Structure 1
């Protein structure tokens, strides 16, 4: 469980995170979304104990990161896959981390196998790794201590389509096993596939949060009829907003009410159903249109 309450971080006169509150629950993947400069990375750095908040709190399993007795055994963190010692081999990176956590050396081999790094690749120096290999090594480090919580910032960067699918299955399996996953990614279609809950941040403030199903649900009704023009006029006359959509109308209203209006107007309806939910990209762009700051750090 991750609990963030009224979290605020200011730098001089600039507020990067402004009274942010949300939770990430066990057994679920929470997608953490926002445009560049929205405050995602700052929030995640505070969670991981790398940045002190100006006020508010971020707790993992009921404690601040600094209060966890052996953090790597409770929370796995990947914020920057490139922030690894370039002169060490992948195996050395994991071996050192395992010793710090008090883990047996066999755990290193387990994690290399789990993330798909071969023996040959594990003996290369990190400076010679591709970005995708560094991501796999970073994920291995995050999973090394068999934690209950994962905090991952853009973990799919540099992965090919097969790697992205592997990442999706790994996170889904971790959550299905009772783990808590907080995932930030610019690959909105991947978030849409794997996330159970979504938190959207813009200009340092939460602009939307809830289950994916609720946030993407559409309140509109799709209706088709041979006389669309007449139906549109009848609906507008009844005070309902109606817009054309691929040979049909999207109407802000209840299907039963719309059907009665069409019947009263003598118009035969050929299709009447709830409209498909919005896609995550559409929802994201709509929610963050006024908060996007392209080119700024998050």
Structure 2
């Protein structure tokens, strides 16, 4: 279990986290989403005890990370795959971690096999690893002590499609055995497939959270036309609730037939007309974060 309660963090006049609260529960994968600069990485660093909170609290298994006895045995972290010692081999990285956490060294070979690194790759210097290989090594490091909790920041970066599928199955298996997973990723399609719960953050604040099913349930009708401005005015005249969709078009609080009739009367040609239930995570994410995206700012 991960519990974040009214968490705040400021850097001078800049507020990175503003009253953030959410939970990641055992037996479930929680997707943690937000545009660049939203505060995801800051929140995960506070959870991992690497950055002090300005206010509020973040606990793992009921305690702050730093107060856990031998925390590496309980929590697996992957926050930056490039942070591994470049001069060591992959096997040396894992062996040193096993020694420091008191894990049986036989786990090293088990993890090398689990993440799909060959014996030759495991004995190669990390400086010669591709990004995908570093990610696999980072996942092996996170799983080495058979932890109860995983905190992973963009673990799929650099993985090929087969690697992404492997990671998805790995995380689902970990959760099915009662583990807690907090997963940050820009691969929204993968989050939609693997996450049981989703937390969306923008400008340092939680803008939506709930089960994946709840957040994607949607309502109303999504419509795109040759003249959305005219269609929107016609819908408003008909006293129908309407709002713009970040990816283009309109989200209308009416069924598709009613929207089609309004468009017909207004003489507007429709390009797309479908139930809001069919909206995917990408559209929901863009709508929720349209005013909070800060391209090029560190998260």
TM-score (norm 1): 0.85
Rg (Cα) greater in structure: 1
Question: For residue 47 of structure 1, what is the aligned residue in structure 2?
Answer: 47
Partner of 1:33: 33
The answer for the alignment partner of 2:60 in structure 1 is 60
| Aligned-partner Cα distance in 1 for 2:220–2:208 | 19
Aligned residue number for residue 187 of structure 2: 187
The residue matched to 1:276 in structure 2 has which SS? helix
**Matched residue, 2:271:** none
Aligned ranges 1:16-31 → 2 under 5 Å: 16-31=16-31
Separation in 2 of the partners of 1:295 and 1:254?
A: 39
- SS for the counterpart of 1:132 is helix
1:250 CA drift (Å): 7.8
How far apart, CA to CA, are the structure 2 residues paired with 1:164 and 1:236?
44
Cα 1:97–1:214 change in 2 (3 A) is: same
Question: 1:285 aligns to what?
Answer: 286
Whole-Å Cα distance in 2 between the matches of residues 48 and 283 of structure 1?
Answer: 28
* Counterpart-to-counterpart distance in 1, 2:108 and 2:169: 21
1:97 aligns with 2:100: no
Alpha-carbon distance in structure 2 between the residues aligned to 1:32 and 1:184: 5
Q: Are residues 242 and 291 of structure 1, via their aligned partners in 2, closer, same or farther at CA, if it must alter by over 3 Å?
A: closer
**Cα shift at 1:198:** 0.6
In 1, Cα distance between equivalents of 2:210 and 2:201: 12
Corresponding residue for residue 161 of structure 1: 161
Rounded to whole Å, the distance in 2 between the matches of 1:179 and 1:42 is 23
Q: Secondary structure in 2 aligned to 1:215?
A: helix
Partner residue, 1:175: 175
The residue correspondences of 1:66-215 to structure 2 (distance < 5 A) are 66-215=66-215
Q: Distance in 2 between matches of 1:251 and 1:12?
A: 42
Query: SS at 1:58's partner residue?
Result: strand
How far residue 252 of structure 1 moved from its aligned partner, in angstroms, is 2.0
Provide the secondary structure at the position in 2 that maps to 1:82. helix
| Alignment root-mean-square deviation, CA | 2.7
Tell whether the 8 Å contact from 2:216 to 2:277 is kept in structure 1 after alignment.
no
1:254 Cα offset (Å):
7.0
Q: Give 5+ residue unaligned stretches, structure 1.
A: 224-234, 244-248, 262-272
1:221, distance to aligned residue in structure 2 (A) = 5.6
Partner Cα distance (1:89, 1:178) in 2: 32
**1:86-145: per-residue Cα shift (whole Å, max 9, x none)?**
000000000000011111110101100110111111100000000000000000000001
Please give the alpha-carbon distance, in whole angstroms, between the structure 1 residues aligned to 2:28 and 2:198. Answer: 10
Rounded to whole Å, the distance in 1 between the matches of 2:251 and 2:125 is 57
TM-score (normalised: structure 2): 0.85
Question: 2 CA distance for matches of 1:165 and 1:210?
Answer: 24
What is the alpha-carbon distance in structure 1 between the residues aligned to residue 192 and residue 147 of structure 2? Answer: 24
Shift of residue 289, structure 1, vs aligned partner: 0.7
CA distance in 1, matches of 2:152, 2:236: 48
**2:222 and 2:120 mapped to 1: Cα distance?**
56
Rounded Cα–Cα distance in structure 2 between residues aligned with 1:242 and 1:36:
28
1: CA distance, partners of 2:202 / 2:252 = 29
- Do the aligned partners of residues 6 and 190 (structure 1) sit closer, same or farther apart at CA in structure 2, a change above 3 Å counting? same
Going from structure 1 to structure 2, the CA distance change for 1:253 and 1:162 (only over 3 Å counts) comes to same
